[in-house]
Amino acid sequence: MLVEFGGTKVLCAASVQDSVPRWRRGSGQGWITAEYAMLPRATNTRNDRESVRGKIGGRTHEISRLIGRSLRACVDYKTLGENSIVIDCDVLQADGGTRTAAITGAYVALVDAVAWMRKRKMCGGDPLVDSVAAVSVGVVGSTALLDLCYTEDVAAETDMNVVMTGSGAFVEVQGTAEGKPFDRAALDELLDLGAAGCAELTRLQREALA
Amino acid sequence: MLVEFGGTKVLCAASVQDSVPRWRRGSGQGWITAEYAMLPRATNTRNDRESVRGKIGGRTHEISRLIGRSLRACVDYKTLGENSIVIDCDVLQADGGTRTAAITGAYVALVDAVAWMRKRKMCGGDPLVDSVAAVSVGVVGSTALLDLCYTEDVAAETDMNVVMTGSGAFVEVQGTAEGKPFDRAALDELLDLGAAGCAELTRLQREALA
Amino acid sequence: MLVEFGGTKVLCAASVQDSVPRWRRGSGQGWITAEYAMLPRATNTRNDRESVRGKIGGRTHEISRLIGRSLRACVDYKTLGENSIVIDCDVLQADGGTRTAAITGAYVALVDAVAWMRKRKMCGGDPLVDSVAAVSVGVVGSTALLDLCYTEDVAAETDMNVVMTGSGAFVEVQGTAEGKPFDRAALDELLDLGAAGCAELTRLQREALA
Amino acid sequence: MLVEFGGTKVLCAASVQDSVPRWRRGSGQGWITAEYAMLPRATNTRNDRESVRGKIGGRTHEISRLIGRSLRACVDYKTLGENSIVIDCDVLQADGGTRTAAITGAYVALVDAVAWMRKRKMCGGDPLVDSVAAVSVGVVGSTALLDLCYTEDVAAETDMNVVMTGSGAFVEVQGTAEGKPFDRAALDELLDLGAAGCAELTRLQREALA
Amino acid sequence: MLVEFGGTKVLCAASVQDSVPRWRRGSGQGWITAEYAMLPRATNTRNDRESVRGKIGGRTHEISRLIGRSLRACVDYKTLGENSIVIDCDVLQADGGTRTAAITGAYVALVDAVAWMRKRKMCGGDPLVDSVAAVSVGVVGSTALLDLCYTEDVAAETDMNVVMTGSGAFVEVQGTAEGKPFDRAALDELLDLGAAGCAELTRLQREALA
Amino acid sequence: MLVEFGGTKVLCAASVQDSVPRWRRGSGQGWITAEYAMLPRATNTRNDRESVRGKIGGRTHEISRLIGRSLRACVDYKTLGENSIVIDCDVLQADGGTRTAAITGAYVALVDAVAWMRKRKMCGGDPLVDSVAAVSVGVVGSTALLDLCYTEDVAAETDMNVVMTGSGAFVEVQGTAEGKPFDRAALDELLDLGAAGCAELTRLQREALA
């Protein structure tokens, strides 16, 4: 499925395997993992391909891990059984917030994959115990903004990614001072804004899946 | 730009750089290169990412080189000046003939890039001396077929890729016996079919660019 | 210098170079970067060396980037001039909180490096505009704990790293639900605890440097 | 065995393994693969070793795949049984046409390997259903030439590799316009010349094996 | 354990595994291997990490192999059973003679590991048939010196590493002319000095283990 | 040039470059380096290519370094000027003693390269101040043997490589106890035998070059 958040377009695809990584075998439990990548021309100036450079960069690693962790928060491994789901998130066009768009879209792809598995009786019941959505928030100038585009992202003094469940709990909070360090009041304002954004995205996910 | 050939979808993007590879510096001549890749879920079963494996496979290398060679056949390096154009061809969905779709789409992206350069006076005149299109042909059973889809491709006894200029000359001919070796008559029939296919694609490229 | 946080021992060393990365040249500004690594027997069971595997894992990348970002928050690049400081953080023994111990120790190594540079008149004034310290906090059972050791870390439902300046502002906040997602109240409690922990570490850094 | 085509010298060695690649196991069928490489001083100016660069270049990959495909065209996998033959083609000295010399020599090494296997009763009958030879042809100036040496190869406007069975059918045809694109008449002339060349090589292979 | 030889500090740690490399399985015999590495700031000027460069350098490989070979000289594989011991030697600070310090310390770590295994009845009896120690000797000016520090090492015309058992036999002798080639008399003098040095180290090892 | 020592065949080729490695620039001095490799079928059972594995093994690294060091012992860098010579030693067939055969042959290739340079006035005078030859010696059973073939090498209890100048001084001595450690008397006997072997090889080198 293709997620679009403003100018950001991410292709999210889920693949099901009836096996789990070696360290998980025999546990009766499943696993969810994710891989994030950007096409070389997703951005305005071309980036070298990581396959050509022969190694994956730190940023790609970091985001892939974040997406995987976020999705795992809404899954019950036992119900999933010894199956794996790999979610590929490929950014076709980037205009800020690619990691949060990827998480939000990946959840929808995950729902599809789980439906496909249940039709084939691969898992006992519904392994999805909640939904997951994510949004980026930031302080530009002295204003807190939701879902920053690229130019806002570059200008942001503080940049925060908020990942929440559909039931309103936090899965991950990552706030970084890009410019000057931020105080507790700014942090609180960003958390409020992020929570509201995630609630709205949860609503949109439900519509898309209905 | 996105090229679609039946179920095959390839995203082609050209990037211009005002420099050339080291071995070309000081020659007053430009260079064209291409990189081909497939998203992990472009095919029906997921392929591992080459960036994760840490190296580019032989097939990817081979196709990237073919696309680059094909495009260079219609370019006058001197008029291009000491500039490079990199064409990225990323297969979003694969259903046979990805390399020929990539060449045909890459030419259109190349025309756009050249127009962009000429607006900025980066090259003296028009470096494009012809157009380029490509098609796959094959023998399935005992019938010669144009533009094979995946199931035909797997069944093909002979598989041929034909790259031709808009003026009707051959740039590259690659015929491979997948099953039993083929005779001269079959080869001739495939070349005829390929030539007709390329002529039709040339017409479509002109329409798309008009 | 060797930092010890309970059973965690990290060797932090700063290296000064009178040059900056290519993308920074001619800017008149400096750069700070960090590399984190763990000895194979820092943990209870041996981990393969990343040099032997031929690539750096995602976790290592992520932590190296976090340390670098954290240190850069207390540096004025212009006063630093076109010089770089690389901070190596090598974990000799790991018992939870290695990344926060590394940041706290790296700051002390950075102060030493800056003093060395100022003696040699390599920078105009003091490029350090604040200090930086970090601590891990988490919820184990239903109790919020400061500076988790390995067994607590494994048991934690929520794990948070808090990086703060000596003046009490946030540089980075990373909270992750390892088990069940957390609510705003838990998040607030962890932030309070983290802030208190960073304040105490700031005091200890001052003592160590006095 | 050492093949010499003019100034080109290629060492071809076949190695037999009583196993097949993972994807082939349990099929009752064998596999043939090839690896091509050039010594650093096979050419007039030294090339860096691919082992030192840490990766195999596109050209090497492409030629290894071509040799493997060509040899597989004359083998019956079922009669071969679940055994593999790896053919190593190492170019000691290069003066044009190394890939076609490698294919022609590799076939002879393959015959030896098969004889060795049959002596040990490793395969049911003779898995070789035909022979394979290859030659390079090209247009230099306006003359079609057989088996181009290096200086001719560089000057060639069109370069074609023709791989044929001993019974006169095509296994692979690869024609590339190095300079200006070629027309059907030139292509036909090159195919005729290539077919004649392969027939002569087939005769020489028979003599060598007699 | 941490070995110190003058300014050289090497952390040596042994890890026991109840398995052996694939080529050794089913032999009833064990295996000993070693990995040597230097922290980036072990030396006075920073060296790039081999994990970051993505490959292990020749010097590291060479020393790891030497340490492994040296330790294996004092082990009876049958008594060890199908178990492996990996010895990690990480140089925290380097001031000449790091490889000989690593061997000498690694033996002590090996004794500890064997004791640990015997307590758990992992091996039949004592697999250690002797002890091993190593020392560097060299000719600086025209004087033979024992255990060269870094500045002596750089100035040495001949550099020799001598590895001996506690019973006084040679395990490895490596002498290299760094400057002008050396004659037999110099070689004999260095061997005498090295033998005396190893005897002294053997005494110190016994004390440390007592 | 091709060196043959019994069943061992090594192709040695020297390549001259009119530049030196970066760390040597501006010194007015030259550099000699060597690369050793084995073809996959040089041995009786096939070894995987290091280019395919994507990294150079420890043994290859170690031998390449030994050959380079040995050759540098007979060269005056100043007379060589800021030029480099790379010696490639590729083992076509291995039957013991490949590294010593490589050194002995590499010296002859080096003499040729230097003659070629002097004809082109690339160096002031003769940069070769001596000759270099190498031989392997070993103890099999209780007998010291010169130039061990593969079956002797495997059976050897002690294996020693001796590299000497034509004037009879030692460049490198590497003795390793493969089986039981050796005493000083055995070491002395091996050194005598090695010295006699090197003297004979020096005579043969002179004949080959005459």
Listed in order, strand segments (DSSP E) in A118-169 are 132-140, 143-146, 158-165
Q: What is the mean pLDDT of residues D173-196?
A: 93
pLDDT at position A150, please? 82
Q: How far is CA D34 from the centre of its chain?
A: 9
Burial group, residue B165, by CB count within 10 angstroms (0-12, 13-18, 19+): buried
What is the phi/psi pair of residue E98, to 5°?
-70, -35
CA–CA min distance E127, chain C (Å): 22
What is the share, in percent, of chain F residues with pLDDT greater than 90? 78
Q: Is F40 on the interface with D (CB under 8 A)?
A: yes
For the stretch F68-90, pLDDT in tens is: 999 999 999 999 999 999 999 99
| pLDDT category of residue F4 using cuts at 50, 70 and 90 | confident
pLDDT at position D178, please? 83
What is the phi/psi pair of residue D128, to 5°?
-90, 115
User: C65, A62: Cβ pair inside 8 Å?
Assistant: yes
Is it the case that residue B149 has pLDDT exceeding 90? no
pLDDT at position C38, please? 95
pLDDT at position B150, please? 82
CA–CA min distance C186, chain A (Å): 10
For the stretch C28-61, pLDDT in tens is: 999 999 999 999 999 888 999 998 888 888 899 9
| pLDDT category of residue A77 using cuts at 50, 70 and 90 | very high
Q: Which residues of E126-164 are buried (b: 16+ CB within 10 A; e: fewer)?
A: ebbebbbbbbbbbbbeeebbbbbbbebbeebbbbbbbbb
User: D51, F49: Cβ pair inside 8 Å?
Assistant: yes
User: D13, F39: Cβ pair inside 8 Å?
Assistant: yes
What is the share, in percent, of chain B residues with pLDDT greater than 90? 78
H or E, element range at D105: helix D98-119
Cα–Cα distances in angstroms (integers) from residue F7 to residues C171, E85, F148, F208, in the given order: 68, 37, 11, 19
Nearest in space to D139 (alpha carbons), one of D99, D97, D178, D103: D178
Residue B98 counted as an annotated binding residue: yes
Residues B170/D183, Cβ–Cβ less than 8 Å: yes
Q: What is the mean pLDDT of residues E189-196?
A: 96
pLDDT at position A36, please? 97
Which positions ≥6 away from C97 have C-beta within 8 Å?
C5, C6, C8, C135, C136, C147, C148, C149, C153
pTM for this structure?
Answer: 0.87
Nearest in space to E104 (alpha carbons), one of E199, E7, E210: E199
D touches which chains (3+ CB pairs under 8 A)? B, F
Which positions ≥6 away from A101 have C-beta within 8 Å?
A3, A4, A5, A8, A10
User: F174, E174: Cβ pair inside 8 Å?
Assistant: yes
Nearest in space to C80 (alpha carbons), one of C15, C18, C170: C18
Is it the case that residue B9 has pLDDT exceeding 90? yes
For the stretch A108-120, pLDDT in tens is: 999 999 999 999 9
Beta bridge partners of F111: none
User: B181, D171: Cβ pair inside 8 Å?
Assistant: yes
pLDDT at position E155, please? 84
Is it the case that residue D1 has pLDDT exceeding 80? no
User: What residues of C are in contact with residue E45 (Cβ under 8 Å)?
Assistant: 15
pLDDT at position F207, please? 93
Residues E176/E137, Cβ–Cβ less than 8 Å: no
Alpha-carbon distance of A154 to B101, in angstroms, equals 37
For the stretch F94-110, pLDDT in tens is: 998 999 999 999 999 99
Q: Is E65 on the interface with C (CB under 8 A)?
A: no
Residues flagged as binding site of E for phosphate: 59, 97-99
For the stretch C111-151, pLDDT in tens is: 999 999 999 999 889 999 999 999 999 988 888 888 888 88
Beta bridge partners of B23: none
Residues B108/B1, Cβ–Cβ less than 8 Å: yes
pLDDT at position A58, please? 86
Which positions ≥6 away from B117 have C-beta within 8 Å?
B16, B83, B123
Cα–Cα distances in angstroms (integers) from residue A207 to residues A144, A201, F152, in the given order: 27, 10, 77
Please state, as a whole number, how many other Cβ atoms lie within 10 Å of the Cβ of residue E192.
Answer: 14
Residue type, F129: V
Is it the case that residue B113 has pLDDT exceeding 90? yes
For the stretch E21-44, pLDDT in tens is: 999 999 999 999 999 999 999 988
C touches which chains (3+ CB pairs under 8 A)? A, E
Nearest in space to B161 (alpha carbons), one of B96, B88, B75: B96
What is the phi/psi pair of residue F120, to 5°?
-90, 10
Q: Is C138 on the interface with A (CB under 8 A)?
A: no
Regarding predicted confidence, which is higher, E153 or F73? F73
| Helix boundaries (H) for chain E | 50-53, 58-72, 77-80, 98-119, 150-155, 184-209
Q: What is the mean pLDDT of residues A29-43?
A: 95
* Residue A41 three-state SS: coil
Nearest 5°: the CA angle B17, B18, B20 is 85
| pLDDT category of residue D142 using cuts at 50, 70 and 90 | confident
Q: What is the mean pLDDT of residues E185-203?
A: 95
Alpha-carbon distance of E15 to A12, in angstroms, equals 42
Nearest 5°: the CA angle B15, B17, B19 is 155
User: What residues of A are in contact with residue C171 (Cβ under 8 Å)?
Assistant: 176-177, 181
What is the share, in percent, of chain D residues with pLDDT greater than 90? 79
User: What residues of C are in contact with residue E13 (Cβ under 8 Å)?
Assistant: 39-41
CA–CA min distance F102, chain D (Å): 15
pLDDT at position B96, please? 87
Q: What is the mean pLDDT of residues E114-139?
A: 94
What is the share, in percent, of chain F residues with pLDDT greater than 70? 100
pLDDT at position D147, please? 84
Q: Is E69 on the interface with F (CB under 8 A)?
A: yes
H or E, element range at D12: strand D8-17
Q: Which two tokens stand for residue C109?
A: 């190594």
Is it the case that residue E98 has pLDDT exceeding 90? yes
Alpha-carbon distance of B62 to B48, in angstroms, equals 18
pLDDT at position B3, please? 83
User: A88, B40: Cβ pair inside 8 Å?
Assistant: yes
Alpha-carbon distance of A128 to A123, in angstroms, equals 11
For the stretch C146-190, pLDDT in tens is: 888 888 888 888 999 999 999 999 999 999 998 889 999 999 999
- Pairing assessment for the beta strands A31-38 and A84-93 based on DSSP bridges: parallel
pLDDT at position D65, please? 94
Nearest neighbour of B176 by CB, restricted to D69, D167, D182: D69
Q: Is B182 on the interface with D (CB under 8 A)?
A: yes
User: What residues of D are in contact with residue B168 (Cβ under 8 Å)?
Assistant: 183
| pLDDT category of residue C108 using cuts at 50, 70 and 90 | very high
Alpha-carbon distance of E130 to F10, in angstroms, equals 39
Q: What is the mean pLDDT of residues D169-185?
A: 93
- Pairing assessment for the beta strands E2-5 and B143-146 based on DSSP bridges: unpaired
